[in-house]
Structure formats: structure tokens, C-alpha cells
């Protein structure tokens, strides 16, 4: 059994559909998209952005002498 190409980080959400699409290339239009891992990826990146924004607000701009 051949392994399928997949994409997404940290969780794979896009999987190559052998025989239907061009093998070795991922495309949202032709390949299998799994919604739960995609939503988990979006939530993870949003959480990282929110934490960074919160830390940036707490630290504040550097004061110049």
C-alpha cells in the first residue's frame, strides 16, 4: 500500500486522492479535506496569535531615554 501525500501542520487535514487528482500534488479543489483537523489547525494558530498579542500588550513599547 502506497502512503498518501498529506498536508497541514500541526495536524494533517489535506490528503491526496490517488487516481482522482495529480499524484504528488495537493489541491483544495481535487483532494480530500478533513474539516476537524483543519479547524484544529486554525484554532491552534489563532491561540498562538492571541497569546503573542497578550504578551505584547503586557510588555508594552520600549521607553526611550
Mean pLDDT of the chain: 82
In angstroms, the CA 22 to CA 16 distance is: 8
pLDDT < 70 positions in the chain: 1-2, 21, 60-65
How much is the pTM?
Answer: 0.68
Residue 41 CB neighbours (<10 A): 16
Q: Can you give the pLDDT at residue 36?
A: 93
Amino acid at each position: 500500500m502506497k502512503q498518501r501525500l498529506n498536508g497541514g501542520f500541526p495536524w494533517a487535514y489535506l490528503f491526496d486522492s490517488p487516481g482522482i487528482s495529480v499524484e504528488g500534488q495537493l489541491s483544495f479543489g481535487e483532494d480530500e479535506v478533513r474539516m476537524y483537523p483543519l479547524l484544529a489547525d486554525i484554532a491552534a494558530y489563532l491561540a498562538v496569535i492571541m497569546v503573542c498579542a497578550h504578551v505584547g500588550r503586557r510588555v508594552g513599547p520600549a521607553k526611550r531615554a
